[in-house]
A and B are shown apart, each in its own frame.
Chain A
Amino acid sequence: MKARAVKGLDPDGTLADNLERIVATRLDELCSFVPRVLDPERVKALHDMRIAAKRLRYILEVGAEPCFGPYAATAIKRTKDLQDLLGELHDCDVQLPRVRGLQDELRAADALEARARAGDAPDLDPTLASGTPHAPAWRGLETLCIYVQARRGLLFERFLEMWRELEREGFRARLEYAITERPETPTPLSPSENGDQPSAAIASPAQSDG
């Protein structure tokens, strides 16, 4: 999935102002997959949402602490959790057809073997279809298919719950707000009345990062 272009970036501007634009675009991109991804059949949209989460996370890793308000750091964890869960879902989506493909392949090979065993017979004796070379593998492959399919269903339910939780928490609105906040500029070297600790406080309204 190609990333959406970010408009108005200025190499001569400040880091925070430029990253704010990029995060805003990437956040919008991430959220744009809803409601499509609420349908478990939308495999590609779920995969693309994972890529969007990854892009957002890596930008936040660079800019959250030096440039934005406290919720931006929390958002790194939220996007990582989202990315990880969508990644596990994607693994199931990749693995299931591969296991089924292998089953098809082995079934075809065993059918050829059963046919060869029949030789010139006018019809196939059912006993020739049992004990084929790959028969010992059938059960395990089928168990694996069932496992991956069931796990996929479970992970999708977890994804729905995670997204609902992000909405309840106000993930989007809080991150949109956090990227407009700026940490206080480090204090210039100058005599001070009460000591010399650089301030690490946030200039903008305090906001819980939980």
Chain B
Amino acid sequence: MARARDIPGLHAQLSYREAAASTVAVRAQELFDHAEGVLDTSEIERVHDMRVATRRLRAVLEIYEPCFSRKALRDVLVDVKALADALGERRDPDVHLAQLEEFATAVKEADQPGVEVFAERVRAEQGAGNEVLSAALVRIQETDLRGRLGALAASASPEHDPRRSFGLRRPQDRPPEVIS
């Protein structure tokens, strides 16, 4: 499983809004970086990595909820959740199949036909799950989920709201310069 990427510039005294902007941007990028090849059932870890990325993204969207407009957040969250569900439709049979294959190699030959009957069913679910996932991937492109996530992340930044910043950053929002 892919390790969560560090969020550059995050520190304890950073404003919650700025942290929201940078964290959501990184987690959204992580999600799309894992999208390649997820429909390939011979490489099941790809789906897993993308699914974990959706969970991490969902988690940060919920963590930073007060920093976003309620409607914009809800629209994005609904789509991220739908994508996570679609990834789950593929991932669950992937895992069960891998376990069954391992089990079948360990048990006696007389046990194998029964395991195979169950595996056949799970394989059909994997195929159906792949179709659900394929449709979900098309949908996130059509609805420009990536662009909406970018806009949502940017909207949390203090500079985004002209009432707050007028192009100036408040001193307490400025990250401290660090001697390198």
Interface residues of A (CB under 8 A from B): 3, 9-16, 18-19, 22, 54-55, 58-59, 61-63, 65-68, 91, 94-95, 98-99, 102, 106, 134, 136-144, 147, 182-183, 185-190, 192, 196-198
Closest to A184 in B: B12
B66 and A189: CB pair below 8 A? no
B16 and A106: CB pair below 8 A? no
Give CA–CA (A143, B174) in the complex, Å: 63
Main secondary structure of the interface of B (DSSP, over half): helix
Q: How large is the interface on B (under 10, 10 to 19, 20 to 34, 35 or more residues)?
A: 35 or more
Give CA–CA (A37, B6) in the complex, Å: 33
B117 and A58: CB pair below 8 A? no
B177 and A95: CB pair below 8 A? no
Given contacts A185-B12, A192-B179, whether A140 and B66 have CB atoms under 8 Å apart is no
- Complex interface bits, B90-115 against A, C-beta within 8 A gives 1, otherwise 0: 00100110010001000100111111
Give CA–CA (A134, B120) in the complex, Å: 14
Question: Which listed residue (A10, A18, A67, A188) contacts B176, Cβ 8 A?
Answer: A188
B66 and A9: CB pair below 8 A? yes
B13 and A16: CB pair below 8 A? yes
Q: Is B76 in the interface zone, CB < 8 Å from A?
A: no
B178 and A198: CB pair below 8 A? yes
Question: Which listed residue (B4, B12, B113, B115) contacts A14, Cβ 8 A?
Answer: B12
Given contacts A19-B63, A144-B114, whether A14 and B13 have CB atoms under 8 Å apart is yes
A102 and B12: CB pair below 8 A? no
